[in-house]
Structure 1
Amino acid sequence: MASKKKKKKLSWFIFFILLIGSGLMLFFGIRWYLYYRVATIYYPAFNIPIPKKYMIHGIDVSRYQDLVAWEEVKEMEDQDIKLGFAFIKATEGIGNRDIQFKRNWRRTKKAGIIRGAYHFFLATKDGKTQAENFIKTVDLDKNDLPPVLDVELTYGVSHDKIRTEVKEWLDVAEAYYGVRPIIYTNIDFYTKVLGDDFDDYPLWIAHYHQPGKPRIKRSWVFWQHSEEGRVNGIKSKVDFNVFNGDSTDFKNLLIN
């Protein structure tokens, strides 16, 4: 009999804990949802909610978006949102070049879209040779965005080694183009791998499903807030980004 009473008490205790846990999850879930709704506006044409309070919006593309009709991208508008810039994948590792880069690079400029080029970093390869691959591929002109290093995977390489090779890429690119490169990564990689060694570089941060801004303490210039966007002239889904500043700040970031 005593054993049955203990089991009954234990069952009620577990039920009580689960009830409290479910209530807290529901409370914080509703709270996050309401905050998300307040901080974003859903744009049907783009098929995503877009954070409020940002003036300048853009996308990033690679060969995975196939052939892009950049004139249609430029002309697209939903309410008060137009796309003002595009980051384009140029290179990867020590010898790979994106098969759509030349076409995208040429046609974004022709369409009147501010363009930027990025390199996808392979941690298993040395930074200098990777930077040379990018430099051989990308000619940056006046009013282009600074070069971008996309670094987000370790491939089992030590963090110290990654930081060394990343710094090498950044130094070589900066010496050649005469402008400080932008680092693209996600919050987890920046915090755990790069750390504060690169806090003086402009940051393009990826952090999805956040209501008003990415949850990172340091300053940032671009925020990739969604990978589910739809844009006229692009058949597949595309990443959406905002610039953290006004038109004057944006102009000052461009190569002069």
Structure 2
Amino acid sequence: MDWKPVSAFGIRLPMRYSIHGIDVSRHNARIDWERVRQVEGDGVRLQFVFVKATEGATLADRSFDRNWTGAREANLRRGAYHFYHPTRDPLKQADNFIRHVELQAGDFAPVVDFETVNGQSDSTIINGLRLWLETVEEHYSVRPIIYTNGNLYKRYIKGNLDDYPLWIADYSAEHLRTYPADNLYFWQHSDAGVVRGIRGRVDFNVFVMDDDELTSVCIP
């Protein structure tokens, strides 16, 4: 995988990939996007950021508007994500995201962040996610991205929602051979990075497809 410690980011990075990025939410406090844009280490510059927009049926991330604007001003390709709660109405959750997020050409497709099951049945989870995805796809005219971890992917996504681009969170993996190469686009490989301009630890991601595939998961 050609991992290399990069002191500017405080972690090892998988250097076989050339497009690196982060994801943020209100938990990262106020971000100095100008400083973020200028960070470079061992030839790596951050090129994209996913920003938390909404959660459940009614919640909006209070830092979303500021982060959304700041990311664009810093010339980072940006995406917005929704934290999905299986106990909430999927249509209301989709509407919550749609009300708060206006996507422009070049932005990433919408993301559903699926990392909790809340004791719900497999069918409730799978059908609810499908309804959210289909509703959001119809609105934005682009297929959304599913973010999840390895265990939830294998139980709920694999074999049920294989047509959607996948963003996998797996901090233990040295390679990605256990995931489908044809629809795996992003890999969150660490939650312990550091970035000047952002307080605390930061999630780090890479784009794992060929670089020229990046626009295939973006708003045309």
Cα deviation, residue 144, structure 1: 0.3
**Partner SS, residue 87 of structure 2:** coil
Q: 2:197 is matched with which residue?
A: 233
Matched residues in 2 for 1:162 and 1:250: separation? 29
1:175 lines up with 2:138 in the alignment: yes
Matched residues in 1 for 2:213 and 2:35: separation? 26
What do the CA deviations read for 1:141-161 (whole angstroms, capped 9, x no partner)? 011000000011110000100
Q: 2:3 is matched with which residue?
A: 40
Normalised by the length of structure 2, the TM-score is 0.96
**Partner SS, residue 139 of structure 1:** coil
Unaligned runs of 5+ residues in structure 1 are: 1-37
Cα deviation, residue 217, structure 1: 3.8
Q: Which amino acid aligns with 1:45?
A: A
Q: Number of aligned pairs?
A: 219
Q: Give aligned-pair identity as a percent.
A: 42
Of Structure 1 and Structure 2, the greater strand share is in 2
1:159, 1:194 within 8 Å by CA — same for their partners in 2? no
What do the CA deviations read for 1:110-169 (whole angstroms, capped 9, x no partner)? 111110000000010111110000000000001100000001111000010011110010
Instruction: Write out aligned runs for 1:1-256 (5 A).
Output: 39-213=2-176, 215-217=178-180, 219-256=183-220
Of Structure 1 and Structure 2, the greater helix share is in 1
The higher radius of gyration belongs to 1
1:55, 1:246 within 8 Å by CA — same for their partners in 2? no
What do the CA deviations read for 1:151-204 (whole angstroms, capped 9, x no partner)? 111100001001111001001000000000000000100111233111110000
1:56, 1:246 within 8 Å by CA — same for their partners in 2? no
Matched residues in 2 for 1:169 and 1:214: separation? 28
With over 3 angstroms needed to count, the CA separation of the structure-2 counterparts of 1:232 and 1:40, relative to structure 1, is same
Cα deviation, residue 216, structure 1: 2.1
